[in-house]
Amino acid sequence: MNIALWILAGGILGWVGYAFLGYNADRAKMVPILIGAVGGFFGGKVIAPMFTAVAVPANFSMASLVFAAIVAAAFLAASNFVYNRWGV
């Protein structure tokens, strides 16, 4: 349950970043959504256990969802910076 929510939160942040903030606007719409989803998964699976208690798979963890959203936003900002700076 948590993993699906992390990926969903990251994907939604990717879409919001594309639609409203213009992050990665020169790329296709799917790229920021995928970057956000990967960032959400990475934030919930790797970063959140470093700072909070490990999430039990059957239970919902709000802290891990917050970390997933923060890392997804950081991935989107970093990818936008890299694309604008070096065109990669």
Q: What is d(CA 33, CA 26) in angstroms, rounded to the nearest whole number? A: 14
pLDDT tens digits, residue range 19-32?
A: 998 888 888 889 99
- Report whether pLDDT(86) > 80: yes
Q: What is d(CA 22, CA 50) in angstroms, rounded to the nearest whole number? A: 31
Helices (H) and strands (E) in the chain, counts: 4, 0
Type of residue found at 31: V
Q: What are phi and psi of 81, to 5 degrees?
A: -65, -45
pTM listed for this prediction? 0.90
Q: Could you tell me the CA-to-CA distances from 84 to 23, 25, 76, 88 in Å, in that order?
A: 10, 10, 12, 8
The full set of domain ranges for the chain reads 2-83
